[in-house]
Copies of this chain bind each other. A is one copy, B any other.
């Protein structure tokens, strides 16, 4: 029951994928520890430059002989509205003052540059012979997909609805990660609107499984052997876990981020678009609640992300969790501080006990 199409195809021992959390969480140590423990480690390359990505891939290769993957953001079309930027900056100013952030030149994201970076990331995946690549925020072009397939890269898409899962299949993805409403961090919806893409895994997994032929991987709120077995019962062939790995010892998440998760209750985890312009789930804090009223008027991703960057950076340096993005799924009560190996061992022994 726990040896599936996914474990065979990805050449891993257990149907456990460490979610690619961008922004420094997926250190090489974490990725390698997961792969060395029988799961699939994933580099969250969303915010990495091509040079950084190449360096990290090489680092991970030094640490494991097992397969691992790279996740990238599919660049989206966005417009830059000076009005929305001015509005957001005005709302953010008092926080910047509070954190003593000096006025700095703002590097607004550039669509053309982001597309260029994406293509360079793909080049590196191919050149470095990474065997698995996953995508978030959309589906890449047919050309990119063909090119990766020619180089035997296994492709994983992300979907939040049955329709998005189907689109992933039709565009040639080998597997699809379905992201339930429970999931922490950024929402991966791209065809469907925010509200209509908040489907709980109990509903999303079986309906997706019935509608696509490619294997379905479940993500969202899964933290232990109970969640793994539940996902498998619903028809998933593997799970992708973020928050559970975020609090692992090897993760690069801020110490206060890990502590906030350990102290959080499930109903303190909320949805916000104030940090990045894209809806994401994290622990409610001063930043989220202050910005809540105005968040729908802020610029889209990745513009808002650029506007709040100095705040998130300063908050991290100053050890002030009130203004950090404390991403978490809806199961923070199940989080523990342990090594990735201990986590995977626990999951598997609990899972095996359930079906015994």
Contacts and interface: CB of A to CB of B under 8 A. Distances in A.
What 6 pairs across the A-B complex have the smallest Cβ distances? Answer: A200-B200, A203-B330, A203-B221, A230-B230, A182-B200, A229-B233
Contacts of A84: none
A199 interface: yes
Interface stretch (A5-13, A204-212, A316-324): A204-212
12 contacts: A161-B266, A181-B198, A181-B200, A182-B200, A182-B202, A196-B267, A199-B330, A203-B220, A203-B330, A207-B333, A230-B234, A233-B233
Interface string A315-340: 00000000000000111011000000
A226 interface: yes
A329 to B, nearest CB: 7
B180 A200 contact: yes
Contact of A196 (B192, B211, B226, B270): B270
A294 interface: no
Interface of A: 161-163, 180-182, 192, 195-204, 206-207, 210-211, 220-224, 226-227, 229-231, 233-235, 265-268, 270-271, 329-331, 333-334, 354-355
Given A201-B201, A207-B266, A230-B230, 7 more contacts: A163-B265, A195-B271, A196-B267, A200-B220, A202-B227, A203-B330, A203-B331
Nearest to A224: B206
Most chain B CB inside 10 Å of its own CB: which residue of A161, A235, A331 = A331
Contacts of A334: 206-207, 210
- Copies of this chain assembled into the complex: 2
Nearest to A191: B267
A315 B304 CA distance: 45
Contacts of A207: 266, 331, 333-334
Contacts of A221: 200, 202-203
A136 B163 CA distance: 34
A163 B268 CA distance: 12
Nearest to A211: B333
Contacts of A354: 233
Contacts of A222: 202
A289 to B, nearest CB: 12
A206 B227 contact: yes
A196 B268 contact: yes
A267 B206 contact: no
Nearest to A228: B233
A161 B265 CA distance: 9
Nearest to A350: B233
Most chain B CB inside 10 Å of its own CB: which residue of A181, A192, A267, A354 = A267
A271 B270 CA distance: 17
Nearest to A182: B200
Contact of A181 (B181, B211, B227): B181
Contact of A199 (B162, B182, B199, B355): B182
